[in-house]
Each structure stands twice: as structure tokens, then as C-alpha cells.
Amino acid sequence: MRFLHTADWHIGKKLHGFDLMEEQNNAFEQVKKIALEQKVDAIVIAGDLYDRALPNEAAVEEMNQMIIELNLKLKKPILAISGNHDSATRLNTGHDWFKTTQYFLNTNLADALHPIEFEDTQFFLLPYFQPYQARNLFEDTELIDVKVALKRIIKEMKTKFDPKKKHVLTAHFFVTGSSKTDSETKVEVGGLNAVPTDLLQDFDYVALGHLHDKDALREDRIRYSGSLLKFSVSEATIQKGVWIVDTDPFKCTFMPIIQPRDIIVLTKSYQELISPEMVNQIPSEAYVAIRLTDKAIIPDIMNNLRNYYPRIISLERAYGREKNAAEEESIDLNLGPMELLTNFFNEITDEEISSKQKKWAAQSLNSLEKETNL
């Protein structure tokens, strides 16, 4: 069979205050198109459908419409699990009805042990879980971390393996490189909650969610799909997309998702940034992260730059910043808390503190002071 592997939709997410709904709908349309063109037999969503346990109403409506579109209108079977950002309980609403239209959603650890049989393949849908859930399920107090719990879970899954079928696991956790071979990914970032790839070798394919980079692992058959969109400046250079996976013969093809609004990092001086050549080069809809090479003080810089780049998501100094006269003076003077705070605010943000912010700060300082005096 052929399926599409995606994850980490994070519906409802905002990027530094910018609503991503338009971009998420655009990316979803691309996923739909790929699913149709590639004639996939199913769509695997490996967790973090929502960005938060309590998505707002607009996000709930968006997600509901996406699933209705894929499953009810296009008749595509869906195999999905809850991730650490989802509320398993809330996501589960409607579960018992969904399977009637081949929307197989699993938010429950116990149900992960029972494969969904699908054409030539057995799918094991393992939602994000905490070790205590495994301890309760297996009544085994020794399952102290995700790694040992997963070992136990997979042992159980293997008793259900039909040797005539392929075996696909979908899961949502942090997988490190094999502890035996690939030195580059050997470090167990994430400690006890990281899972070594060794544990996952008995599956024909492992469709992962959690990390947003499709290249986070160097394994042919254990892959993150990455998110559909870039969700932070650190993801600016990561290519986003979905995997098209054929089970027999095994084949894995990456299909890119064009970013409707890209994240672009500009390491430039102020003069370069406001030059027409530079401005014209950057699509006006792009999210721009600025690393300013100037060290000089530039008054009201953020507001000025927003005239050229309306979607600035971060502004930092590549090489630090000169101190202004007040700062130089202040270093050894005995300033009050409010002066220290306004100077600090100005230094960090390159903006003046507003009167409202000043009022909040004054209130907090006052109640702090009174608290210590009580």
C-alpha cells in the first residue's frame, strides 16, 4: 500500500503573535493535492494535531473541517494519534463514530496494542504517553521511563504481528540515533525520555511526530515527517513537506510543502535593510527575523523596520550594541528599581517603555516591596 506520512500540524498556533490560520489552510490544501495526485491509500498523522490542549474555537472548527474534508469528502482513510500538545481526552470526542468511516484515531495507550489491519499492512497507533500510563496498563512498577516502557509495549505489539503483513508504527516521541552505530546522533538529548532507534528496528516503517525536521534522524525506515510549516526562526532553513511511503517494495519519497509565508533570516546592517534592492528582494508577506550587524544605537528601530518588513518576528543584534550615554553613566550609580528596569527594557528591546508598561511595572514593584515588608 501507499500512505502519506505527516505530523505536527499544530492547528491554532501563533508565530510571535501572527495568526497562522491562513498558512495552515494553505499547507493543508497542498497536503490534499499531494494525497490525491499520489493516490495514497491512507494518511498518517503522527500527533500534535492541535497546538495546545485547549485550542480556541477557531482552531477546533479548522481542524474539524480538515478531517471532514480528507475523510468524509475525499474518502481518504486517516490513521492518527494524539501528541504531547494535544489533549487526548478532548481529541477523542467522536472517536467511536470516526472508525465507521476509516478515521482511525488513537489517544489511548491500551488500544495501541491492537493493530489496525489495512490492506497489506498492520498499523500500530501509539499515542504520546507518560511512563505512569504504561505502569498502570502492564501493572509493572519497573517501567520507570519511556525507553523501558516502550520496550515492553513493542514486545506486546510483536505478539500481534501477522508475518504475512508489513508492520508500521506511528508514534510521537523523541528518538535518538542508534546507540550502536551512528556517532553523530549518539548523544541522548532529552535523557530518559529519548528512545534509541534500536528499539524500533522490527517495524517496516516508523512514522514519527514530535521533531519538526524531516532530517532529524539518519534512518531509512524510521522518519520524522516534520511539520508542514516553519514554526520558529530555528526552522528557517528546514525544508518542510510530507513523506509518501510505499510498503511493498519499500520506497519513501519526500514531497515538499511550499511555505505560503516563508521565514527569512536577514543578517544585515540597518542601511542595507532599508535599501530598495533589499526590500524588493524580500516577499512582502514573508516573516522576517533580523540579525542587525550595526552596533550603533538606532532610535525607534523596530517601528522603522516594520515600515519595510510588516511581519518581523524577531530583531537581535548580531554583534551586540553600543551603550548609550545614560547606560554608561548608570553602571556605577545607585539607580532605583524603576530606572534600572526602564533602562534594561530599552537596552533589550531598543524601544522606550510605554506609560502603560511603566504603570504595570510600578504596581508590581510596589506590591513586591509591600510583600517583603509584611
- Residues near its own copies, by CB under 8 A: 54, 57, 60-61, 64, 68, 72, 87, 89-90, 92-98, 100-101, 103, 359, 362-363, 366-367, 370-371, 374
Q: How far apart are CA 355 and CA 360, in angstroms?
A: 9
CB 199 within 8 A of CB 151: yes
In the complex with its own copies, the residue whose CB is nearer, 38 or 133, is 133
Least distance from C-beta 96 to its own copies, angstroms?
A: 5
Q: What is the DSSP string of 57-93?
A: HHHHHHHHHHHIIIIIIS---EEEE--TTS-HHHHTT
Q: How far apart are CA 59 and CA 65, in angstroms?
A: 10
Least distance from C-beta 72 to its own copies, angstroms?
A: 6
Q: What letter represents residue 50's amino acid? A: Y
In the complex with its own copies, the residue whose CB is nearer, 45 or 301, is 45
In the complex with its own copies, the residue whose CB is nearer, 96 or 277, is 96
In the complex with its own copies, the residue whose CB is nearer, 55 or 209, is 55
In the complex with its own copies, the residue whose CB is nearer, 95 or 268, is 95
Other CB atoms within 10 Å distance of the CB of residue 285: 12
Least distance from C-beta 64 to its own copies, angstroms?
A: 6
Least distance from C-beta 65 to its own copies, angstroms?
A: 10
Least distance from C-beta 224 to its own copies, angstroms?
A: 28
**Distant-in-sequence, close-in-space partners of 45: CB < 8 Å, separation ≥ 6:** 6, 7, 9, 78, 79, 80, 81, 209
Q: What letter represents residue 359's amino acid? A: K
